[in-house]
Amino acid sequence: MSQIGSFTLLLALALSAYSFLAGVLALARPGPGSERLGETARRAGIATFAVVFLAALILVISAFQDDFSIAYIFHHSNRDLPAPYKFATLWSGQEGSLLFWALLLSAYGLVLRLRHKTDSRLFAHASIIIAAVQVFFLLLVNFAAHPFAVMQGALPADGNGLNPLLQYPEMVIHPPMLYLGYVGFTIPFAFALGALIMRYPGEKWIHITRRWTMVTWGFLTCGVFLGAHWAYSVLGWGGYWGWDPVENASLLPWLTGTAFLHSVMMQEKRGMLKTWNVWLIFSTFMLSIFGTFLTRSGVVSSVHAFAQSSIGTWFISFLAIILAVCVFFYVKNRSHLRSEHKLESLVSRESSFLFNNLLFLVACFTVLWGTLFPVLSEWVQGHKITVGPPFFNRVMIPVALLLLLLTAVGPLLAWRRTSFESLKRNFAWPVTGAVATGVVLIAFGMRPWRDVSYFYSLMTIMLAVLVALTVASEFIRGGRVIARHTGQNMFASMVHLAHRNTRRYGGYIVHLGVVVIMIGFAGAAFNQDKEQEMGFGDKLNIGAYTLVCQSYTQEDKPNYSSEWAIINVFKGGRQIDTLYPEQRFYKASQQTSTMVANRSTMKEDLYLVYEGRNLDTGRPIIKVHLNPLVMWIWAGVWIMIAGTVIALIPNAAAVRVTAPARIQAEPVVTGD
C-alpha cells in the first residue's frame, strides 16, 4: 500500500506541476495552440484532485487495515481505535494533515476549474496560482513529510494509538472545517493575484472573490468555534479559549478575512480601496500559511505540540516567494488599482468601514504581536517569557468593545453623509434600550465598579443590546415599507426584505450572531469553581446547585480503562439530573484524558471534571465549574452560520408595486 501511495503522490506532483507550467505557457504565448495547451493544464488540475484523493484514500484504508508498516499509521492509530477515529487519522499528524491540506486544495481547485466558463481567462489565471500552491504542498508530502514512509526494522504488533485528546467526536469535524477555512483563502487570493496580473477590467472579480471568501470565512468560523467547543469539552479546564498560539493562528486570517468582507463593499459601491482590498486578501492568505508555519515549526510553544518539526524552513521559504510575487505584480500593475478616493463626511458609512478595518487590523496585529513576543524577547533579552490570557484579555477586550460599538453604529450610517437628525432618529431607541439594560442589570446586583471584568461584562451586554436593537430597527423599518407595498404581514415582509438583499440582511443576522456570542463571553466574568473530594453521599454546594456523590466506579474497555463518578444534581431540594464525570486511561498511548460531564442550559453550564483520586482515601476528586451563559456562544455560532448561508443566497427580484396609489416615502437608511 505504501508504494502505491508514494506513487500517487509523485503522480499528483507531476500533474500539478504540468498544470502550472502549461497554464503559464498558454497565457504567456497566445497563439493557435495556446487554447488547447491551456485546456490540458485545466484538465491536469482536475486530474490532480483524483490522484490526491486516491492517495488520501490509501492512507485511510491503511489505517482501517492496521497497516503498521507505514510509520504514520503506527504513530497515529492502533487496532482497537474506533472506526471514526481511524478515519480521522488522516489529519491527526503532521504528514497526514499536509496530505489532507493538498486534498482540500485540489477539491477547491476542481470546483474552480469546472466553473471556468464564468470567465475563462480570469479562471485560467486563478487556476495557475492554485496549481503553484498545490505544487508546494505536494513537494512537502513527497520530500519533507512523507505520509507513506515505511517503518524500519521488525513490524510492530500494534500502533501507538491516537492522542487521547483527539479521541472526541468533534475531532472528526473540527480539523476539516478549519482546514477548509485555511485552504479556502487560496481561492480569493488566486483571483485577486490573477486579476492584478492580467489587469482585469471592472469589479467582476470582486463579486466572484467575495462569494468564495464568504464560504471560506464560514468554514473558518465553524472551525474556530468547533475548536473552542472541543477545548471546552475535552481539555477540562473549564474554559474555551486559552490564547494558545494555535488558537491565535486560526484567528489571524479570520480577522483579516472579516476586514476584507467589509472593506470590499467600499470597492463595489464607491470604487474605493482597490489597493487596500488586494493587500488584505494577500495578507489573509499569507497569514493562513504563516499560522501553519507557527504551529508546525516549533517556533512558539503550544499545547498543540503534536505536529512540530523542521518543516518550518519550507513554509518560511514559501512565504518569502509569495510575498515577492505579490510585491512584484503590485509594483508592475499598481496603476490598474488606482481609484478615486472622495469622502464627503466623517459621519458616513465609508468612514465606519475605514474604522472597522482599522480595528480588525489592530486586533490582528495585537494577536500576532502577543504570539510572537516570546520569540522577540528571546532574541533581545536572551530568555523567553510567556504571553498568555492576562495579556490578551487586557488588550483585546477594549478593541472588541470598540468593534461592537461600530457594529451598532456602522449599519445605520448612510453612504456619503449622515445628518445629525438622522443619527438622532436612528439611535434614540437603541441607545435608550442599551442604557435601560445597564440600569436594570445594576439594579439586579451587577456591580461594575467592583472589578474591571464586571465593568467589561456590563459594557459588553449594553453594547450587545445596542447592536441587537439597531439590527431589529433595520428589519422593522424595511419590513414596514415592504408591508405597505405588498400588504403582507410584518414577518413575511421582513423575510421578503431579507430575500431582496440577502447579502445585507444576511450580514445583519451574522451581526446578531456576534452579539449573542459576545453575551456568552460576558458571562465569563461570573464563573465560579470548586474542587472537593467526594466519597459516597458527600455534598458540594455551588451556586443554586447541590451535588451529591451517589457512587464511583471503574470500567475496562478494549481501547481504554476508565474511572467515573455518579453525581446527582439537586436544585431547590429537587433532583434535576445525574452527571457522570469520567477519566480514561488509553492503553495504546499510555495516556490519560478527562471526559467532562456538562449540564448546559441557556443560563449556565454545570461542568464537572473527574480530576483523579486521593491516593490516601481512594475517593475521587471532583472539580466543578459554574459557567454562566456559555451556551449563548454556541447558539451565536449557529446564528452566524445561518446569516452566512442567507448572505450566499442570490437576491430575489424587486417587489412589484401593484397598487397605483402614491406612497408616502419613509426615510430609510440605505446601504449594504
Partner 1 sequence: MKAHNGNVSGASPSQERRAREGTAFSRAVTAVFVRTARLKAVPSRLGNLIGCCRRPIQIAVLLLAVFAFLGAGDEAARFSSLGHKLMCVCSCSQVLLECNHVGCRYSDRMREELAAALDRPDSDDLVLQSFVQKYGPTVLLAPTTTGFNRLAWVMPYLALVLGITTVIFIVRTWRMRPLAVPAGGVAPLSGPEFERFRDQARRDTEL
Least distance in angstroms from the C-beta of 127 to partner 1? 31
Spell out the residues 6+ positions from residue 332 whose beta carbon is closer than 8 angstroms to its own.
none
Least distance in angstroms from the C-beta of 40 to partner 1? 39
CB atoms within 10 A of CB 136: 18
Nearer to partner 1, 58 or 482 (CB): 482
Nearer to partner 1, 391 or 580 (CB): 391
CB atoms within 10 A of CB 657: 11
Least distance in angstroms from the C-beta of 123 to partner 1? 26
Contact present, 89 and 76 (Cβ < 8 Å): yes
Nearer to partner 1, 127 or 302 (CB): 302
* Grid cell listed for 321: 516567494
Least distance in angstroms from the C-beta of 185 to partner 1? 23
- 589: nearest Cα among 195, 162, 211, 110: 162
Task: Count CA atoms within 13 Å of residue 604 on its CB side.
Answer: 19
Pairing of strands 597-600, 560-571: unpaired
Least distance in angstroms from the C-beta of 471 to partner 1? 15
Dihedral class, residue 243 (left if φ above 0, else alpha if ψ from -120 to 50, else beta): left
Least distance in angstroms from the C-beta of 671 to partner 1? 8
Q: Is 481 helix (H, G, I), strand (E, B) or coil?
A: helix
Q: Name residue 554's amino acid.
A: Q
Task: Please provide the size of the chain in residues.
Answer: 672
Least distance in angstroms from the C-beta of 579 to partner 1? 17
Least distance in angstroms from the C-beta of 449 to partner 1? 6
* Grid cell listed for 251: 484567528
Nearer to partner 1, 402 or 566 (CB): 402
Nearer to partner 1, 351 or 600 (CB): 351
Least distance in angstroms from the C-beta of 489 to partner 1? 18
* Burial (CB count <10 Å: 0-12, 13-18, 19+), residue 176: buried
Nearer to partner 1, 53 or 455 (CB): 455
CB atoms within 10 A of CB 144: 16
Place of cell 501507538: 160
Nearer to partner 1, 4 or 668 (CB): 668
Pairing of strands 545-556, 574-579: unpaired
Using CA of residue 259, residue 262, residue 266, residue 267, what is the dihedral sign?
positive
Nearer to partner 1, 416 or 425 (CB): 416
Spell out the residues 6+ positions from residue 645 whose beta carbon is closer than 8 angstroms to its own.
218, 506
Nearer to partner 1, 388 or 558 (CB): 388
At residue 529, what are phi and psi to the nearest 5 degrees?
Answer: -150, 155
- 134: nearest Cα among 59, 41, 37: 41
Q: Name residue 203's amino acid.
A: E
- 349: nearest Cα among 288, 268, 442: 268
Spell out the residues 6+ positions from residue 621 whose beta carbon is closer than 8 angstroms to its own.
531, 532, 533, 534, 610, 611, 612, 613, 614
Least distance in angstroms from the C-beta of 272 to partner 1? 8
Least distance in angstroms from the C-beta of 613 to partner 1? 6
Least distance in angstroms from the C-beta of 480 to partner 1? 11
Using CA of residue 297, residue 298, residue 299, residue 300, what is the dihedral sign?
positive
Nearer to partner 1, 208 or 534 (CB): 534
CB atoms within 10 A of CB 556: 9
Task: Give the CA radius of gyration of the chain.
Answer: 27
Nearer to partner 1, 170 or 611 (CB): 611
Nearer to partner 1, 489 or 528 (CB): 528
Q: How far is CA 349 from the centre of its chain?
A: 27
Least distance in angstroms from the C-beta of 339 to partner 1? 11
Using CA of residue 147, residue 152, residue 158, residue 159, what is the dihedral sign?
negative
Q: What secondary structure does DSSP assign to 92-144, as a single string?
A: TSHHHHHHHHHHHHHHHHHHHHHTGGGSHHHHHHHHHHHHHHHHHHHHIIIII
Using the CB atoms, write b or e for 357-394: b if 16+ within 10 Å. Answer: bebbebbbebbbebbbbbeeeeeeeeeeeebeeebbbe
Nearer to partner 1, 125 or 210 (CB): 210
Nearer to partner 1, 186 or 302 (CB): 302
Nearer to partner 1, 309 or 590 (CB): 590
Nearer to partner 1, 453 or 568 (CB): 453
Place of cell 448572505: 647
Least distance in angstroms from the C-beta of 498 to partner 1? 10
Least distance in angstroms from the C-beta of 386 to partner 1? 5
Least distance in angstroms from the C-beta of 562 to partner 1? 11
Nearer to partner 1, 255 or 497 (CB): 497
* Burial (CB count <10 Å: 0-12, 13-18, 19+), residue 600: middle
CA distances from 99 to 49, 51, 166, 298, 331 (A): 12, 12, 18, 20, 34
Least distance in angstroms from the C-beta of 362 to partner 1? 5
